[in-house]
Structure 1
Amino acid sequence: MSGEAETGVLTAMLLAHAPAERREALEGLADLEALLRSHLEAGQTAWPSVPLPPETFMRHLARHLPPDDTLAQALHQLHAADLYLACACAAGDAQALLAFEQHVLKKVPSRLGQLSASTVDEVLQLLRQRLLMSASGTAPKIADYAGRGPLAGWVRISAVRAAGELANQEGRQELFGEPPESLERMLSPEDPERVLARADSRQALTESLQAALARLSERERALLRMHHIHGLTMDRLATMYGEPRSSLARRVVQARERLLKLTRLELSSRLKLEGRELESLLGWVSSRLDVSLHRLMS
């Protein structure tokens, strides 16, 4: 029996595309093949008209694997059908884009409050451009959706932002006269920005990141500063440090993951969050880490 047959076809695919530092943790998960099969079937059942090769789905899932200490929980709580659709949209599948339009974008207007029809149309057009179109050879933004929360909520956050930007353009009336309350009404309980709508929560997030940065070593902070703030490539860092590129890339990844792990501990303590709400907020932090580091370390 081959190694692939022993581990299971989907497990083998996931391991093949997973970062090296995640493979040991994945191999230690019980019934991983059955779990992956259930995720694939959830996507196929929810979107029967959307063809997506299993390996494409496993490659996409591998890209979004969380740190080892939350890996098992995140995989079991994965919004698999939503991730399946997002993956197919990122690949440019016509049926997936149609399903996204009909089942996700179609629900956005009802969550935008009292906006004119023309403004809603502009918001939807911005979402199509930002989420579904690639730029400069990069993957569409929807490829960043990690399945940690509902896709509809993830898109709704982008819609609220887009509406806010439009409200501040060309002398238009402010969309949010009272930002925290207005924003909270538009977000579901699991949306991270519902938590961040409170001023005390935003302050706790800033303090959590600062505390986590302080606990990193000087070298870890230097690597994060040079890569995320100054934009140095792994090749440039390897030349500076006189180490192999793969070694420097691993150090940067480890420093980033240690920062997120420490931030998670700080957030849990300061905001008394747990479960999906905490993981959703941490995912929000991770997706905006470059901006946060620039503000805190520049």
Structure 2
Amino acid sequence: MTDETPSPLSRMLLAHAPEDRRDWLRAWPGLEALLASHLAAAASAWPAVKLPPERFLRHLARHLPAPEAPADALAKLHAADLYLACACAEGEPQALLSFEQHVLRKVPARLGPLPGSTVDEVLQVLRQRLLLGVGEAPPRIADYAGRGPLRAWVRIVAARIVTALSQQGGHPERLSESPESLAQLLAPDDPERELVRAHSREVLSEALRAALAALPERERALLRLHHLHGLTMDRLATMYGESRSNIARHVAHARERLLRLTRHELEARLKLHGRELESLLGLVRSRLDLSLGGLMD
């Protein structure tokens, strides 16, 4: 291939490959056929997942073996798993559903005997840690390089979460949000009716933190994913492998439970009663309804 114009797939890969890999790729015998076979394997493994070849090849370019790697390193990549990880990182709905059904649901059986609540916690943290980007960074699943099976890579991440749970008494990142981000659950962006004033922000954040801690893990995760990370009902339905209407009901129930628990906390902490408490809770409720309403129609 050194003396020929690269074929279409090879050309796409070369366009995105790091400069120090390009000569190595140009010298690769049968590169076009190898890339075609990788894409065919991905299509066979995940027929419902739709990802343009150029996006996969751009992703593959990020994870190319080093030139000094074994000669068959590129051929031995777990290309179908890499394809699924790339599609998940891009938020492709069928990829997220396939990841839930064929990867995440296989994790508990390989973690040994654990209480059901711990298993649920591990899966929730996995979803958040692997499938959500932070700021401008892509979701962490984009770091999977295809050197081994995707399930094994996810199990390693899950095992580390189990270790963190045992070392930190149960919930390492369950309630890791700052008081300011927790306050977004109550009143994001309301300058005209400022709910969280300086003197009460900490008390309200503590009340919300306590209310969230009292929620079942699944409800807490749904509220965090929807309100703090901005996932739509459609995206949540895909992640959890449930219908949109079911997820919307779960989020609504979690919201109502959170409001009830927040009421009790505010009564105890701010010594509010009657009209003053109802006014505050009415504003809390209106902010949550505004966030949810357009997505539950």
TM-score (structure 2 length as normaliser):
0.55
Partner of 1:112: 111
Superposed displacement of residue 112, structure 1: 1.2
> CA 1:146 to 1:103, structure 2 compared with 1: closer, same or farther past 3 Å?
same
Superposed displacement of residue 67, structure 1: 1.2
> CA 1:119 to 1:171, structure 2 compared with 1: closer, same or farther past 3 Å?
closer
CA distance in 2, matches of 1:171, 1:102: 26
Partner of 1:147: 146
Partner of 1:74: 73
Q: Which runs of 5+ in 2 are unaligned?
A: 172-297
Partner of 2:56: 57
> Residue 6 in 1 paired to residue 5 in 2?
yes
CA distance in 1, matches of 2:137, 2:120: 26
**Which structure dedicates a bigger proportion of its chain to helix?**
1
Amino acid at match of 1:14: L
Q: Which runs of 5+ in 1 are unaligned?
A: 173-298
Amino acid at match of 2:135: S
Q: Greater Rg, structure 1 or structure 2?
A: 2
CA distance in 1, matches of 2:68, 2:17: 16
> Residue 40 in 1 paired to residue 39 in 2?
yes
> RMSD across aligned C-alpha pairs, in angstroms?
1.6
Higher relative contact order (CA 8 A, sep 6+): 2
CA distance in 2, matches of 1:126, 1:105: 11
CA distance in 2, matches of 1:120, 1:7: 48
Partner of 2:235: none
Aligned residue for 1:7, secondary structure, equals coil
> CA 1:18 to 1:71, structure 2 compared with 1: closer, same or farther past 3 Å?
farther
Partner of 2:95: 96
User: Superposition pairs for residues 197-276 of structure 1, below 5 Å?
Assistant: none
Superposed displacement of residue 66, structure 1: 1.8
> CA 1:126 to 1:31, structure 2 compared with 1: closer, same or farther past 3 Å?
same
Partner of 2:15: 16
Partner of 2:248: none
* Greater than 6 Å deviation, 4+ residue runs: none
* 1:91-132 CA-partner distances (Å, limit 9, x unpaired): 111110000000000000101111100000000001000100
CA distance in 2, matches of 1:62, 1:155: 22
CA distance in 1, matches of 2:93, 2:170: 38
Superposed displacement of residue 71, structure 1: 6.1
User: Superposition pairs for residues 172-187 of structure 1, below 5 Å?
Assistant: none
Partner of 2:175: none
Q: Is the 8 A contact 1:130 1:140 kept in 2?
A: yes
Aligned residue for 1:75, secondary structure, equals coil
Q: Is the 8 A contact 1:65 1:71 kept in 2?
A: no
CA distance in 2, matches of 1:125, 1:167: 16
> CA 1:14 to 1:171, structure 2 compared with 1: closer, same or farther past 3 Å?
closer
Amino acid at match of 2:62: R
Partner of 1:169: 168
Partner of 2:83: 84
CA distance in 2, matches of 1:72, 1:31: 13
Aligned residue for 1:69, secondary structure, equals coil
Superposed displacement of residue 136, structure 1: 1.0
Amino acid at match of 2:106: K
Aligned residue for 2:72, secondary structure, equals helix
Superposed displacement of residue 51, structure 1: 0.2
CA distance in 2, matches of 1:71, 1:7: 23
Superposed displacement of residue 171, structure 1: 7.1
* 1:233-280 CA-partner distances (Å, limit 9, x unpaired): xxxxxxxxxxxxxxxxxxxxxxxxxxxxxxxxxxxxxxxxxxxxxxxx
Aligned residue for 2:64, secondary structure, equals coil
Aligned residue for 1:73, secondary structure, equals coil
Amino acid at match of 1:28: A
